[in-house]
Amino acid sequence: MIRYQQVIDPAGPQALLRPVCLGDLRLPNRVVMAPTTRARADNEGRVPTDLHAAYYAQRASAGLIIAEGAWVSRRAIGFSCVPGIYTERQETAWSRVTGVVHAMGGRIVAQLWHAGSNSHPDHLGGALPAGPSAVNPQEISRTPAGRRETLTPRAMTSADIDAAIADYAAAAACARRAGFDGVEIAANGTYLIAQFLNRRLNRRNDGYGSRRGRLLLEVVDAVAAAWEGRRVGVRLSPYWTVRDLPPRSGAYPYTADSQTLADYDGLVAELSERPVAYLHLRGRAPGAPGAPGAPGAPGAPGAAPDAGEFARYRTLFGGPLIANHGFARDTGNAIIEAGAADAVSFSRLFIANPDLVSRFALGHELAADDRGTHYSGGARGYVDYPIWPGLAPAGR
């Protein structure tokens, strides 16, 4: 295992504002913008627009921007109005985004996304989605015609798996040509790679079933080949449960039980042997069993994320770790000071606070986001959140 250790100067500024290296990505601060789907690519080609360029430019003070998940191919699609990163038009448009972020002094990586069975024929020209096995993931897919329940997919063939890996590799090369500083592989949530990691959805009797992490490891190898050094991150969500995204019906396949966590232990240890720039770990949902503030768990509602859940994987992964889910300024600083993470990513806080880094630095109050505009399209609730308007900092 390659062991990584970041030295923190206790006499320096608050932990979130100290520089850090994530592989070959050099960050001036540890405030990371998490990948956040905003559904603004409302065009036939799923091409990023000038709104995307403005949105990310406004947030370029982040130590690192992890752009919204982008589809690695047409067959990967599973959500309306999400951009892709597999055509020349998309590559050209993304280069405009990366160019303006770099002009503003920022750093940005692309997140590579494949929906797998968490999709619908409406996205795929009538074709049935494919997944690890013919098991309905019990999710809801946002299609052009509205919300649709997922169906029982067809099981991917060996040729399908090879094609998916090739799609990831091609998307990584596209991202590099578009000027991204690296890529992140979306292996979290309820999508293709997470489906292969899930023993209830992956019932294969071949090598991708006996070693459920095999697909992710092969994708990491294929994607890393497009980059020099360590510029490929991996996002995981071992604690994902029904609390994160309630299904419409049926038994939900994602449970953060002891066997699931043990499976992820082994996977993270294997990732530590790959040229991975960082591990981006999503913590347990507030109110989920075992979470701070949940029934029968220590803490009250709104309690801080459990640093121990991140420390579990810190001991297994030799590289930098980004903690995510439910953090604020104080809890973000605390988990870094405790040595359980090297950086912290924020999603909704960055939606409403494009100047989040300076608000953290100066102790300014934070604006609240309008959840009704998260996927609504257009500029409202996307590029119209102001920087700090000059009011007195909270608590003063």
Predicted pLDDT of residue 290: 59
Those residues with Cβ within 8 angstroms of residue 211's Cβ, 6 or more apart along the chain or in another chain: none
Interstrand relation of 278-282 and 232-236 (parallel, antiparallel or unpaired):
parallel
Tokens at residue 204, please? 């294969």
> Is pLDDT of 188 > 50?
yes
The average pLDDT across 57-83 equals 98
pLDDT in tens, 108-117: 999 999 999 9
Among residues 191, 252, 313, 385, which one is catalytic?
A: 191
Select the more confidently predicted residue: 1 or 59: 59
Predicted pLDDT of residue 39: 95
pLDDT in tens, 216-254: 999 999 999 999 999 999 999 999 987 776 555 567 899
Type of residue at 280: H
Predicted pLDDT of residue 298: 34
Q: Which of 139-143, 213-217, 246-250, 259-263 has the lowest mean pLDDT?
A: 246-250
Distance CA 266, CA 274 (A): 13
Predicted pLDDT of residue 38: 96
> Is pLDDT of 105 > 50?
yes
To the query of whether residue 56 is one of the catalytic residues in this protein, the response is no
Tokens at residue 7, please? 């030295």
Tokens at residue 231, please? 């510029």
pLDDT in tens, 12-39: 589 999 999 999 999 999 999 999 999 9
pLDDT in tens, 226-235: 999 999 999 9
Across-strand partners of 233?
184, 278
Predicted pLDDT of residue 301: 43
Name the pLDDT band for 304 (thresholds 50, 70, 90). Answer: confident
CA atoms within 13 A on the CB side of 143: 18
Q: What single-letter DSSP state applies at residue 197?
A: H
